[in-house]
Every structure is written in structure tokens, then in C-alpha cells.
């Protein structure tokens, strides 16, 4: 039987918070604007960039949202290229978990608000590119919680919704799972808290990767 586990990236596999916050500050500074609070920025991680800016500045015009999104992308790329800064680490236990799942017959995928280029660089940096059979990004899909990413991942893997799960750290991931009819599993080390994830439809929230493996296998 096909088994597919699809992971969000930022806040689930990779701890990208430092560079996300740095890039957002640079972006708003460039526009001469006050940067939103760190808490508010964390709340929109996982959405596509334009939609993130819409949530941070709901009264602004679309043209500003698009400009901020483009400047953020460039700022984030510069930070990634700056070798004097710490790279974005994997969360503890993630690499071993992916190996264990793959060895146990799970097909693996990613569904992320990152761009194709950003995801490819992140996976290559950590030597994980060959772990995944399907990679879905904001470049080719509507923003979460639209189920498009999961629909395509299911098609790529030849899996039915009941044979799959989505693992993420935000309510957007949980809602995407519900919209696709896919079991949603939360992690507590990312951007939204456990109670919010449960309210959004998570069947459970893992406190560490050992617990996450149990929820995936369960």
C-alpha cells in the first residue's frame, strides 16, 4: 500500500526564523516603514509572500504587497548567500526521522510557501534532495490553505487522501489537510501553538520527532 507523508518546510523541517525576521526587517526598512512585530511575522510563515504581506498590511494596496514580497525575496536570498551568518539548521532529529520513514516504506514530499529555488537550495544544503518524490511550492500553486499542493503531491505519489498525511507547524497546513481530505499532524516547534493546531484540525501535535514518527505511523 502506498503511504505518503508530506512535510511543510519552514517551521517544520527547517528553523528559518532568524533569517525570516532579518529579511522582513530589511524589506520594511527599504520602504521606510515600521516592521511588524516578530509575533505577527511568525503568524504568516507558511503563506505565499504576497498573501503574507496582505495579512501584515491588510489596508495597503496590492501593488505595495507585491513590491514588499519581491523585496523580501531578494533580502532573503542575500542573507542565504552571506556565509558570515549561521545557515538555517534542521530541527533536531529531522534528518534521522526522514531516513527512518523512507526506510519504513513511506514516500515523502514537501508542500511549502517557499519558491522552487528556495526549496531546492535548502534541501541541497542539508543533503535531503533525494529523500522526496514530490516537491510543491508557491511558484506553482495558490497559497495554503488551498489544497492544490496536496492534490498534486497525491497525484505524483499515486496515493489516495486516506493513505497520506500532512505534517506542519501552522493552522494553514492543518486547514490545507482538511481541504484535501488528508490527515493533518502538527508539530509544536514551529510558528503556531498546539491548541491552535488542534482547533484547525490536527489529529495530534508532536512534541519531538520521536512523537512525530508515532503520529505518522499511527
Question: Contact, 164 vs 183, CB < 8 A?
Answer: yes
Q: Please give the mean pLDDT across all residues of the chain.
A: 95
pLDDT over threshold 80, residue 106: yes
pLDDT per residue as tens digits for the range 76-93: 999 988 888 766 889 999
pLDDT per residue as tens digits for the range 158-202: 999 999 999 999 999 999 999 999 999 999 999 899 999 999 999
Question: Contact, 25 vs 79, CB < 8 A?
Answer: no
Separation between Cα atoms, residue 4 and residue 166, nearest integer Å: 9
Question: Contact, 130 vs 53, CB < 8 A?
Answer: no
Question: Contact, 190 vs 20, CB < 8 A?
Answer: no
Domains of the chain: 4-15+89-217 (3.40.50.1000), 17-81 (1.10.150.240)
Give percent of the chain with pLDDT exceeding 70.
99
Amino acid at each position: 500500500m502506498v503511504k505518503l507523508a508530506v512535510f511543510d518546510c519552514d517551521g517544520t523541517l527547517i528553523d528559518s526564523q532568524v533569517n525570516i525576521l532579518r529579511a522582513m526587517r530589511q524589506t520594511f526598512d527599504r520602504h521606510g516603514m515600521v516592521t511588524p512585530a516578530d509575533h505577527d511575522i511568525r503568524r504568516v510563515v507558511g503563506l505565499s509572500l504576497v498573501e503574507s504581506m496582505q495579512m501584515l498590511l491588510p489596508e495597503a494596496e496590492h501593488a505595495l504587497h507585491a513590491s514588499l514580497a519581491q523585496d523580501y525575496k531578494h533580502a532573503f536570498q542575500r542573507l542565504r548567500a552571506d556565509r558570515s551568518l549561521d545557515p538555517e539548521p534542521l530541527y533536531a532529529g529531522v534528518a534521522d526521522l526522514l531516513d527512518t520513514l523512507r526506510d519504513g516504506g513511506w514516500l515523502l514530499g514537501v508542500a511549502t510557501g517557499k519558491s522552487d529555488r528556495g526549496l531546492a537550495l535548502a534541501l541541497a544544503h542539508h543533503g535531503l534532495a533525494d529523500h522526496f518524490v514530490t516537491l510543491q511550492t508557491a511558484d506553482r500553486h495558490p497559497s495554503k490553505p488551498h489544497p492544490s499542493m496536496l492534490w498534486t503531491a497525491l497525484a505524483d505519489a499515486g496515493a489516495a487522501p486516506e493513505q497520506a498525511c500532512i505534517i506542519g507547524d501552522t493552522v494553514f497546513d492543518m486547514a490545507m489537510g482538511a481541504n484535501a481530505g488528508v490527515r493533518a499532524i502538527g508539530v509544536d516547534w514551529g510558528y503556531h501553538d498546539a491548541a491552535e493546531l488542534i482547533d484547525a484540525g490536527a489529529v495530534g501535535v508532536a512534541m519531538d520527532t520521536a512523537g512525530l514518527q508515532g503520529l505518522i505511523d499511527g
